[in-house]
Amino acid sequence: MAKELLSKTPFYKNEYFLLSLILACGVALRIFHLSTESIWLDEGISIILSRQDVAHIIQSAANDVHPPLYYIVLHYWMLLFGDSETGARSLSVLLSALSIVLTHKIARTLFNKPTALLSAGLLSISVFHIREAQESRMYTLLLLLSLLAFHLAQRALHQKKTSTVLLVVLCNCALLYTHLFGFFTIAAQSIYLLYLYASKNISALEFLKGVGVFVFILASFSPWISILLQQMQYFKSAHHIAHPGLLEPLYALYSFDGSKILFAAFTLLAAKGVWMTIKQKKEFYFLSLWLLCPLLLPILISQFSSSIFLHKYAIVASVPYYIFVAKGVADLHNKFGKAGLITFVIFFSAVPLKNYYLTTKKEEWRQVYQHLSNQVKNGETIVFHAKYVKKNAFDYYAKKNQFNELVFPLNDKDIDSNNISELKDIIQEKKQIWLVISHAHDDHHLLQKEILTRYKITEHSTFVGIELYHIENTEK
């Protein structure tokens, strides 16, 4: 019967043909200009760290901010495809593409064909997801594993197979060792399990088995707990993580949308989708917890401690948001109105995409390297602000021992009255230097006061995220 129905459906209306088109569009948008921009600091950290063997990756990750799984996966990926911009970033392209397929699968299980296809379509053309898919960072792996975790948890509740439960455990364990926001995905699943028990959708025995599964998942992370406590010190000193306000969830949704007009439209459509889903209580609670836990829980934690919330960390919350939006569109009865809305979304999604492709936003380390290669004369020294910037960004492009290089501060990231003297001593010793400044934490503007106004600046070049100075010591 299924084959007979399939044969009567025109190929251009076939669900999997349409999904293939959506996937092809999503992959094309993620590949387009993949290597146009330079590797920036965070990507350089991923690549440099992943060049090591697995034992050293784990050791280095313990001194980083994030757990080691993504770096291990990237390590083996680069063995196959190299560590060029395209090679390293293509892993994120693949993971993001698989997320499009899995989003369709989950939405299809929860609702229907139109909602599933629209959900996948929104993800495929989202500038937020395309941006993350073009970076060699762990956020696309975080998303894919979260999608798998939610999908497998749903299957385990229906199928009650041991093999599915084992997959749930494996997927959630992998999630924790990818990014700490995996805890909020597990929180959403746990609260949903509690809801199912409270609403008598599962028995007490099934509930206790589920609790046991999540206890085991959390226990599997115990080897990393002591390291996690050390890594939390990073957030206490993180200058780039602003303290989230009460409206931060809305700002996060805005970043998922990419423009004000899409935010306005998607907010209304998502509200309609929520309203249409309320009567389907299990689906409503499932999606609502999936959406709210990665948004609200880290923001709540940030109110009582150092901020841990960035929009890209909450990438998991974007999918249920898109599903609610898709539900709002799919339940329109007027075909022309539905077609008009889809056209509207595609058209206004193209605007932030155009801006994204035409605007350079990543630090231009490739251009800095090329500029210095052409300008630095024999005997001149390049001084970098902070060793970690030189090691993880500039050294990605530079050949070993190609330049005479020094760093300051030697043992810190911040520029203060104590270590600015290190730079003064270097300038006093050398006739002329090149000074490379990026990610400088110079709250008291000591570079300007103590260096740039006291010595002769023969060149000042500005690159995205980087300042380059040629400084001459006229007193020597």
> Which residues, including other chains, have CB under 8 Å from residue 462's CB and lie 6 or more apart?
468
Contacts 24+ apart (CB under 8 A), 272-279: 272/327, 272/328, 272/331, 273/323, 273/324, 273/325, 273/326, 273/327, 273/328, 273/329, 273/331, 274/324, 276/327, 276/328, 276/331, 277/324, 277/327
User: What pLDDT is attached to residue 237?
Assistant: 58
Lowest mean pLDDT among 33-37, 40-44, 375-379: 375-379
User: What pLDDT is attached to residue 366?
Assistant: 96
- Confidence label for 1 from pLDDT (cuts 50, 70 and 90): very low
Handedness of CA 38, 40, 44, 47 (dihedral sign): negative
The rounded percent of the chain whose pLDDT value lies above 90 is: 73
| Strand spans (E) along 409-464 | 432-437, 456-463
Q: Across residues 97-123, what is the average pLDDT?
A: 97
End-to-end CA distance of the chain: 90
User: Does 176 or 10 have the greater pLDDT score?
Assistant: 176
User: What pLDDT is attached to residue 289?
Assistant: 97
Q: What is the mean pLDDT of the chain?
A: 91
- Confidence label for 367 from pLDDT (cuts 50, 70 and 90): very high
- Confidence label for 8 from pLDDT (cuts 50, 70 and 90): low
User: What pLDDT is attached to residue 171?
Assistant: 97
Asked whether the bond before 409 is cis by omega within 30 degrees of 0, the reply is yes
Per DSSP bridges, beta strands 404-408 and 456-463 are unpaired
Residue 23 parent element (H or E): helix 15-31
- The answer to whether the beta carbons of residues 139 and 119 sit under 8 Å apart is no
pTM of the model: 0.93
Enumerate the domain spans of the chain.
13-358, 365-472
Q: Across residues 18-42, what is the average pLDDT?
A: 97
Return d(Cα 476, Cα 427) in angstroms, integer. 9
Handedness of CA 234, 237, 241, 242 (dihedral sign): positive
- Tens of pLDDT, residue by residue over 307-361, are 889 999 999 999 999 999 999 999 988 888 899 999 999 999 999 999 999 999 9
User: What secondary structure letter does DSSP report for 309?
Assistant: -
Residue type, 445: H
User: Does 475 or 142 have the greater pLDDT score?
Assistant: 142
Query: How many CB atoms within 10 Å of residue 137?
Result: 23
- Confidence label for 238 from pLDDT (cuts 50, 70 and 90): low
